[in-house]
């Protein structure tokens, strides 16, 4: 058995550290590329009250979280011989991944 690519969910905090460590180990065994996915879903319908400032505040925080997830991911996979790619966006993880794959 072999792995060409590994997919790992990337969190803005320590939540995905163990998964990233495991991915680096497996990637080193199989010379596999690592793809990190940072996805945050925001459904504005859940925040239909007010003047929209709450939704904007939440979107701003999601932008901060996604940037943090990317920094943590890239630091964790630094030195992977087969490379790494980070995909992020404001959507559900499976939708974001499907959109990325469709572009390939």
- With residue 67 as reference, give the H or E element that holds it: helix 53-76
Decide if 36 contacts 86 (C-beta within 8 A). yes
User: Is 53 or 38 the better-scoring residue by pLDDT?
Assistant: 38
Does residue 47 carry a pLDDT above 70? no
Q: For residue 14, how many other CB atoms are within 10 A of its CB?
A: 8
Decide if 80 contacts 29 (C-beta within 8 A). no
Residue found under tokens 């030195």 = 79
- Of the candidates 21, 44, 50, the residue with the CA atom closest to the CA atom of residue 90: 44
pLDDT, one tens digit per residue, over 61-104 is: 999 999 999 999 999 999 999 999 999 998 888 888 888 888 86
Does residue 2 carry a pLDDT above 90? no
Q: How far is CA 75 from CA 7, 47, 52, 78, in A?
A: 16, 34, 35, 5
Query: Which domains are seen in the chain, by residue range?
Result: 6-103 (3.40.50.620)
| Residue 50: predicted pLDDT | 66
Residue found under tokens 């939540």 = 15
pTM (two decimals): 0.85
| Residue 61: predicted pLDDT | 92
| Residue 6: predicted pLDDT | 95
pLDDT, one tens digit per residue, over 3-40 is: 999 999 999 999 999 999 999 999 999 999 999 999 98
């Amino acid at each position: 058995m072999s792995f060409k690519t590994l997919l790992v969910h990337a969190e803005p905090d320590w939540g995905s550290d163990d998964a990233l460590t495991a991915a680096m180990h497996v990637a080193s065994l199989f010379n596999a590329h690592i793809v990190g996915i940072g996805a945050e879903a925001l459904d504005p319908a859940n925040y239909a009250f007010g003047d929209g400032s709450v939704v904007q505040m939440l979107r701003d925080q999601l932008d901060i979280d996604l940037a943090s997830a990317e920094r943590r991911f890239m630091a964790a996979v630094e030195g992977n011989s087969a490379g790494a790619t980070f995909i992020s966006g404001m959507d559900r993880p499976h939708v974001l991944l499907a959109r990325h794959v469709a572009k390939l």
